[in-house]
Chains A and B, each alone.
Chain A
Amino acid sequence: MIFSRSWKKRKLRSGGHLSSLSFQPGSDERGLTPLSFELESNLHILRNIFADCTDVLFHDFWISGSRRAILIYINGTANQEELNQQVLTPLLEGRRRSAGSPLFHGIIPVASGSEIGTIEETVRHVMDGNPVILTDGENTATSVGLTKWETRSVEEPIAESVVRGPREGFVETVEINTSLLRKRLRTPLLKMKSYKLGSISHTEVVIAYLQGVAEKALVDEVEKRLHSIRIDGVLDSGDLEELLQDNPYSPFPQLLSTERPDIACSQLLEGRVVILVEGSPIAVVAPTTFYSFLQSPEDYYERYFFGTVIRWLRYLFLFIALLGPSFYVAIVSFHQEMIPTALLLTMANSRELVPFPALLEALLMEITFEALREAGVRLPKQVGAAVSIVGALVIGQAAIEAGLVSSPMVMVVAITGIASFIIPHYTLGVAIRILRFPIMLLSGIFGIMGLMLGLLMLLTHLFTLRSFGVPYLSPLAPLNLQELSDVMARVPLWMTDASVDEHRGKNTGRDQEPDTT
C-alpha cells in the first residue's frame, strides 16, 4: 500500500509540544511519583494539583470509624447516589479490616475498579471521572468505576436521515458509540483499540476494525498516524480528520464522516477502519473513495431498481451542482447559438433590463444564495422558516423586478442549490459548493472551453488524490470493472460477493461465518 508523501512531510512539521501536564500511562522512566504510606503527604500533593478546581471534591471519612480515608471525585461526573449506597455505606458500616489490606473489593459491590500506585495515575483516574479512595497507611489507592458523565440519549441522526433504515445515531459518548457498533456486529473479530490523544484534553479515541477483513497494513497505518499526532486538544472527530488525511491542501474530504452506526458497520464489513472520538457524535472512516460520498444507506435498504435510479439521479445532479451556473454563464455569454430560438428570445427579453454581464449576475446570485444558506444554518429554528420565505421568495422576486438579475438566472441558481443538497454526505457537498466558483470564473472568461479546463484540472487533482493509499476515484480510475458495477448500479445483494473491496482486491467471504479465533 502506498501512502502519500505529503502526509509524511506534514507529520514531521507538526513536531511535538508535549505539555508538562501529560500523564501518559505506562511510561515509568519519566519519573512518576509513587503514592506514600502517609495519607497527609499524598493529600498535600493532590490538593496542590487540584488547587482552584472547585469541582474536584475531597470527602473525608473514617472507614469503620477507625481509619481515615479520603474520597476524591469530580462533582457531577460520579454517580453520587451509587457512591453513597455502594461505596460509602459499606465502608462506614463495614466490619473492621486489618490494616495493610489494600483491597476494598470484597466490600464495595461495583463491577469495575482498580488499584493504582502513583500520584499521576490518581490524577488521571479522577480526571476520567472515576472516584478514587485513598486510605491512611496504604501506598495504593482504589479507583471505583462509577463514572457517570452527562450524556445525550441515542437519537435519530439529523444530518443523514433516511426514510427506511435504522433511526439510531451516534452520540457524544464513545462507550455508547462502541456499543452501537457491537450491537450490530456481535463477533470477537470486531476489534476496538483505545488511545488517549491531546496533551491537555486526553481525549479517548477508539479505532474499530474487523480482524481478517481489514488489511493489517491499513490498521497499522491508522495507528501510526494516530501516534504521530501532537495536538493539545481533540474536540471533535473533525480535528482528527484534518490531521489524518493524506493531502492537506485538497478541498475534498478524504475520510468519510458519518453519524449513522449502520453506515459505520457497513464500512467495517468492507474492511475499513472506523475511528470514534469521545465527545463527537461523528465517526470517521478510513480509507474512503469519492463515490462512497454519493451513497446513502437507503440505496441498500430499498429495492434495487430504485437504488440504481437514485444513484444515477445523484450523479446527474452532482454535475449540475458543480457546473450548473458555469454552463449557463458560458452559454449566455459565448455560445448563444446553442439555445433554441424561441427560448433565446424569451431569455433575451428577460436579460434586456439587466445591466450586468452574466458572470457578475451569477456571482451575485450564488454568493447571496450561499449567504442565505449559511444564515439558515445558524438561525434559531423558530425564525428559520420566516427567513427562508423572505430569502427565497421575496428577494428573488424583487431582484428580478428591480432588474438586478434575470429570471432564468434565479432558476439556475435555485436548481443548483437544490442539486447540492442531493449529495448524501455534507462534507462532499461543501467541496462541490466551493469549487463551483472558480469554474464559474473560468467559464465567464473562456466560455465552454474554460469550463472544460476547470473540469480537467479538477479531474487531474482527483486522479492524484489518495485516501490512506487508496486512489480516490477507484474503482473508476484505476479501472476495476468488477467493482465498477456497484458504482453503475445498485446490484442486488444476492448477485454480489458482498465483500469485494478495492484495497483488498479479493473476496474474503462476508457470506461465510468467520472463524472465531
Chain B
Amino acid sequence: MLDRGKISVLQMCLSMYLMVGATAILIIPAITAKEAKQDMWISPFWGSLSGFLAVWLAWSLYRLTPGKSIIQTGEAVLGPRLGKAAALLYILFLVHGAGLIVREYGEFIVGTILLKTPIVVVMGSIVLTAAFAVRSGIEVLGRFSLLLGPLFGLFLIGIVLLLIPRYEPTHMLPVMENGLRPSLAGAVTPLTWFMEFLFISFLFPHLRAEETHKALRAGMWAVALMLVTMVIANLSALFLFGEITGRMFFPVFNASHYISMAEFLEHLDAMVMALWVMGGFFQISMWYYVTVISVAQCFHLSDYRPIVYSVGILIIVFSLWLAPGFADLINLFTTSEPFYSATMQILLPALTLIIGLIKRRRRPLSAEAEKVVNRKGNG
C-alpha cells in the first residue's frame, strides 16, 4: 500500500464530513435559494439521497475487492486497459474537483478580506500548506480531522446561536407554496455536492481491521451529519435574509456580519474567515490527497510523495482554467457540473459495480485480473 497509515472510524467520518462540508456551507445556500426560495431548507433532504447512494456504492465496490480504492477496483473489475481508462477519467475529474474547491476558497478570500491580493497568490499559499499535510499522509490528515471537525462544528453552532436574536422565522412561510418543484430544482447543487462522498472509497483501506465492519454505518453518519449541517446553514440564512439569500455569494459568512453581542463580540468576519481557512485547508488537503493517491495508484508508483508538488501545480492551473470569474463558477455549478459529477461519481461506479457483480456471478473475479492487481497494486 502507498500509505500505511491507519485511521479510526471516527476520523474517517469527520474527514468525509469536512471534505464535503466546508464549501457546502459557504456557497450552497445561495445557489439553492435561487431556485428553492423559502423552501431552500428542504432541498438538502433530496440532495442527501445521492450521498447515501454514493457511500453505499463505495462500500459495495470495497466489498467486491477488499483493500482497494475505486481506482484499483476499476482495474480489477474492468481489466487493465478499460480500468486504466476509467482511472484516467477519475484523475481528470479529481484534479478538476480539487481545482474547483481551491478556486472557491480563493474567490472567497479575495472577495471578502484580501481585496487587492492576486488570487493566484492566495490559492498558491493554501495549496502549499495543504501539500505539507498531504505529504505527511493519511494519519496526519486523520488527526487534523479530529481536531478541526469539532472546532468547525462548534463554530457553526456558535454563529447560529449568536444570530438567534435577529432571526425572522416567518421567512420560511409559506412552506411548499408551489409544491415540491422549487425544492427539487434547488436540490441539484446539493445533489452534486453529496455525490463527493464516493471518495470515502479512498479511506476504507486505511481503516483498522477491527473497525472495518463499522465503515458503512460511519459513512452514512457522515452524510447524515452533513445533511443536518446543511439544513441548519440554509435555515439560518433563510431566517436572516429571506429571499435575498439567492442574490448573495456567501450568505452564511455575510450572516456573521450581523453578530453583535455584549458590545464587543462584533465584526467577527476575520475570525470567521480564519476558521473557514482551517476548514478549507482540510478540505483541499483531502481532495489533494485523493488526487495524488489516484495518480500514484493508476501509474503503480511505489511512493506518492515525489508527485505531491507537481500535482499541486496542476490543481492550481486547473483552478484558474475553470472559469473566468466567480459568477461563471456559479454558472458552472448550476449547468454542466451536475452532469459531470453524476457521470463520474454515480454512473461510472455503478457500472463498475454491475459488471463486477455479473463477473463474480459467472466465476469468481477472474484470476488474471486478481493477479494484475496483486502485482501492481503495491499492496
Chain B positions 256 through 292: 1 when the CB is less than 8 Å from some CB of chain A, otherwise 0? 0000000110111111011001100100000000000
Interface residue B212 (Cβ < 8 Å from any Cβ of A): no
The segment from A31-39, A358-366, A379-387, A458-466 found at the interface with B is A458-466
Q: Does A456 contact B (CB under 8 A)?
A: yes
Specify which chain B residues have a CB less than 8 angstroms from the CB of A334 in the assembled complex: 113-114, 270
Q: Which of B139-147, B169-177, B229-237, B310-318 contacts A (4 or more CB under 8 A)?
A: B139-147
Given A452-B277, A453-B281, A478-B143: A460 and B114 interface contact (C-beta under 8 Å): no
Interface residue from B122, B264, B278 paired with A456 (Cβ < 8 Å): B278
The reply to whether B267 and A337 contact each other, CB–CB distance below 8 Å, is yes
Q: Is the CB of A460 within 8 A of B270?
A: no
User: How distant is the Cα of A448 from the Cα of B129 in the complex, in angstroms?
Assistant: 15
Question: Which of chain B's residues has its CB closest to A449's CB?
Answer: B277
CA distance A423 to B144 in the complex (A): 25
**A448→B114 CA distance, assembly (Å):** 10
Chain B, interface SS category: helix
Shortest CB–CB separation between residue B150 and chain A, in angstroms?
Answer: 11
Contacting residues of chain A (447-489) with chain B, CB-CB under 8 angstroms: 447-453, 456-457, 459-461, 463-464, 473, 476-479
Q: B residues 95-138 with Cβ under 8 Å of A?
A: 109, 113-114, 117, 122, 125-126, 129, 132-133, 136
Say whether B270 contacts A335, CB under 8 Å. yes
Q: How many whole Å from B285's CB to the nearest CB in chain A?
A: 9
Q: Kindly list chain B residues whose C-beta atoms are within 8 Å of the C-beta of A451.
A: 274
In the complex the two chains form, is A453's CB within 8 Å of B126's CB?
Answer: yes
With a cutoff of 8 Å between Cβ atoms, the chain B residues found around residue A154 in the complex are: none
Chain B residues contacting A461 (CB-CB under 8 Å) are 132
* Residues on the A chain within 8 Å of B113, using CB: 334-335, 447-449
The answer to whether A446 touches B125 (Cβ under 8 A) is: yes
When the two chains form the complex, which single residue of A331, A448, A456, A473 contacts B273, counting CB atoms closer than 8 Å? A448
Whether A460 and B273, one on each chain, are in contact in the complex, defined by CB atoms closer than 8 angstroms, is: no
- With A457-B129, A457-B132, A463-B136: A448-B271 Cβ-Cβ less than 8 Å: yes
Known: A334-B113, A334-B114, A337-B269. A464 touches B278 (CB 8 A): no
> A46 → chain B, closest Cβ, in Å?
58
Closest-CB distance, B127 to chain A (whole angstroms): 11
Minimal beta-carbon separation of A418 from chain B (angstroms): 24
Q: Judge whether B140 and A464 touch: CB under 8 Å.
A: yes
Docked Cα-Cα span, A198 to B91, in Å, equals: 54
**A448 touching B274, Cβ below 8 Å:** yes
Contacts of B266 in A (CB 8 A): 340
| B269 smallest CB distance to A (angstroms) | 7
Bin the interface of chain B by size. Answer: 20 to 34
Q: Are B114 and A449 in contact, with the CB atoms below 8 A?
A: yes
The answer to whether A456 touches B281, judged by C-beta atoms less than 8 angstroms apart, is yes
Closest chain B residue to A335 by CB distance? Answer: B270
Whether A53 is near chain B, meaning CB under 8 Å from some CB there, is: no
B140 touches A452 (CB 8 A): no
What is the bound-complex CA distance between A449 and B121, given in angstroms? Answer: 12
Question: How far, in angstroms, from A335 to B126 measured CA to CA in the complex?
Answer: 20
Complex-state Cα separation, A460 to B136, whole angstroms: 7
Q: Which residues of A contact B270 (CB under 8 A)?
A: 330-331, 334-335, 337-338, 447-448
Contact call B268/A338, Cβ cutoff below 8 A: yes
Identify A446's interface contact among B117, B264, B267, CB under 8 A: B117
Distance in Å: Cβ of A335 to nearest Cβ of chain B: 4
**Is there an interface contact between A453 and B277, defined as CB atoms closer than 8 Å?**
yes
**B59 shortest CB reach to chain A, Å:** 25
- A330 and B114 CA atoms in complex are apart in Å by 12
A334 to B109, CA, bound (A): 12
Docked Cα-Cα span, A463 to B269, in Å, equals 29
In Å, the complex CA distance between A461 and B140 comes to: 9
* CB within 8 Å for A459 and B273 given contacts A446-B114, A447-B113, A453-B125: no
Contact check: which of A338, A457, A459 meets B267 at CB < 8 Å? Answer: A338
- Give the distance in Å from the alpha carbon of A459 to the alpha carbon of B140 in the complex: 9
Q: Which residue of B lies closest to A334 (CB)?
A: B113
CA distance A335 to B270 in the complex (A): 7
CB < 8 Å neighbour of B144 from A448, A452, A459: A459
B146 partner, pick from A337, A456, A479, beta carbons under 8 A: A479
Chain B residues within 8 Å of A478, by CB: 143
Look across to chain B and name the residue whose beta carbon is closest to the beta carbon of A471: B143
How far apart sit A477 and B5, CA to CA, in the bound complex (Å)? 14
Q: Does A449 lie within 8 Å of B109, measured CB to CB?
A: yes
Contacts of B139 in A (CB 8 A): 463
Partner of B133, one of A449, A452, A460: A460
- Closest B residue, CB atoms, query A463: B140
A449-B109, A453-B126, A456-B281 as given contacts; A477 in contact with B146, CB under 8 Å: yes
| A335 to B143 alpha-carbon distance, docked (Å) | 30
- Additional A-B contacts beyond A334-B114, A340-B263, A460-B133 (14; CB < 8 A): A335-B113, A446-B117, A446-B122, A448-B113, A448-B271, A448-B274, A449-B109, A449-B113, A452-B278, A453-B129, A460-B129, A460-B132, A477-B143, A477-B146
Q: Can you name 9 A-B residue pairings with CB atoms under 8 Å?
A: A331-B270, A335-B113, A338-B267, A340-B263, A340-B264, A448-B273, A448-B277, A457-B129, A479-B143
State the A residues within 8 Å of B (CB): 330-331, 334-335, 337-338, 340, 446-453, 456-457, 459-461, 463-464, 473, 476-479
